[in-house]
Amino acid sequence: MTHSHPGTALITGASSGIGAVYADRLARRGYNLILVARNRARLNALAERITTQTRQAVEVLEADLGAAASLARVEAKLREDASITLLVNNAGVGTHTPLLESDIGSMTAMIDLNVTAPTRLTYAVAPAFVARGRGAIINIASIVSIAPELLNGVYGGSKAYMHAFSQSLHHELGAKGVRVQAVLPGATATDFWATGGLPVEQLDQAIVMSAEQLVDAALVGFDRGELITIPSLHAGEDWEAYEAARQKMLPHLSSNTPAPRYLAAR
Ligand code: NAP
């Protein structure tokens, strides 16, 4: 493989929605694909269409990323297949259900899929990317990573994890040739909403983007080398101000003295 070939992209949650659009767009950019999800029939249909349209090689890997054994198979693939140059951590579920109406079993299952799986997949591939001095990781977070009040709190927390993990990955691995991007979609018209119990048709359509627009915009951000991409935020300067405020605080967040406002009144 020469460096002009983009290599192979492994995309989780490729059987529908945002992941399926990434599959289409990355194949059109010349990537070969490894598509991961549970629904083999949908993965096969997508693989067939993409191969016919682009002539790229497409492999299907049926796996439940919430189950340790099948997650381990995907980890092994990432460790062993040296053609892989891009990991898209996209598979995820969410809900709008408040804490008092949520079942703890489904909350921890969401953490398994949204947090544990992308963490394990990243740990599987990162050493190989660093050894080759080349590779990229796209993490699909969400705007709820900075606005956890909007939906279920465990979902927001899982996406805040992806956001923070991406910042740290960039900090640790950016200089070692690993590109990292966290994408923060707003409401996007996919099965996500119906699966989570609130059909997307019930949302104000002024806040809902198509999955195609979302992925195309996110890839513009990727091409620009952005670490955080928020396709629906029109006022980009608001994000810059938010990030500048965070950077300004960083050197002052730890101190041997409590801030004066916390000194107990005598
Ligand atoms: P989607 O159409 O429901 O896609 C979810 C994908 O994840 C499917 O391919 C599904 O495939 C896969 N998946 C679910 N459980 C899985 C499991 N246990 N193991 C392996 N794969 C599994 O929804 P989407 O909107 O495209 O979601 C993609 C990502 O975008 C998620 O991380 C979501 O949190 C994020 N996001 C979505 C929105 C939105 O408004 N839609 C907004 C912000 C962020 P199978 O069912 O075949 O396994």
Is 121 within 8 Å of 75 (Cβ atoms)? yes
Residue 25 lies in a domain: yes
Give distance in angstroms: CA of 92 to centre of ligand 1: 4
Contacts (Cβ under 8 Å, ≥6 apart) of 93:
110, 113, 114, 192, 195, 196
For tokens 């010349």, what's the residue?
30
Helix (H) or strand (E) holding 100: none
**Ligand 1 centroid, distance to 93 Cα (angstroms):** 5
In a domain, 163, yes or no: yes
CA 18 to chain CA centroid, nearest Å: 10
Ligand 1, atom nearest to 42 Cα: 47
What's the CATH number where 117 sits?
3.40.50.720
Q: What are the phi and psi torsion angles at 79 (to 5°)?
A: -75, -35
Q: What is the largest CA-CA distance in the chain?
A: 77
Whether 104 maps to a domain, the answer reads yes
Q: Which residues pair with 159 in a beta bridge?
A: none
| Residue of 155, 161, 242, 262 with catalytic role | 155
pLDDT at 4: 73
In Å, what is the CA distance from 247 to each residue of 45, 144, 251, 252?
46, 21, 8, 10
Q: Is residue 263 part of a domain?
A: no
What pLDDT does residue 2 have? 44
- Give the residue from 128, 20, 40 showing the smallest Cα distance to 77: 128
pTM confidence score: 0.98
Instruction: Tell me if 251 is assigned to some domain.
Output: no
Which of 38, 95, 111, 146 is the best mutation target for the ligand 1 pocket, counting ligand atoms within 8 Å of the beta carbon and taking the most? 38
Tokens 């091409």, residue? 223
Residue 235: its pLDDT value, please?
98
Q: Give the residues across from 138 on adjacent strands.
A: 88, 181
For the chain, list residues with pLDDT below 50: 1-2
Q: Is 262 inside any structural domain?
A: no
Q: For residue 78, which amino acid is it?
A: L
State the distance from the centre of ligand 1 to the C-alpha of 97, rounded, in angstroms: 17
Closest C-alpha to ligand 1, atom 23:
192
Report the DSSP pairing between strands 8-12 and 84-89.
parallel
What the block records as the tokens of 31 is 């990537």
Query: On the CB side of 17, how many CA atoms lie within 13 Å of its CA?
Result: 22
Closest ligand 1 atom, residue 18 Cα: 26
Count of domains forming the chain: 1
H-run or E-run covering 76: helix 68-80
- Say which DSSP state 232 is in: T
pLDDT at res. 1: 44
Residue 133 forms part of a structural domain? yes
Specify the pLDDT at position 265.
Answer: 84
- Ligand 1 centre to CA of 255 (Å) is 41
194 CB neighbour count, 10 Å cutoff:
12
Residue 31 catalytic? no
Task: Print the domain residue range for 177.
Answer: 8-237
Asked, for residue 264, whether it belongs to a domain, the answer is no
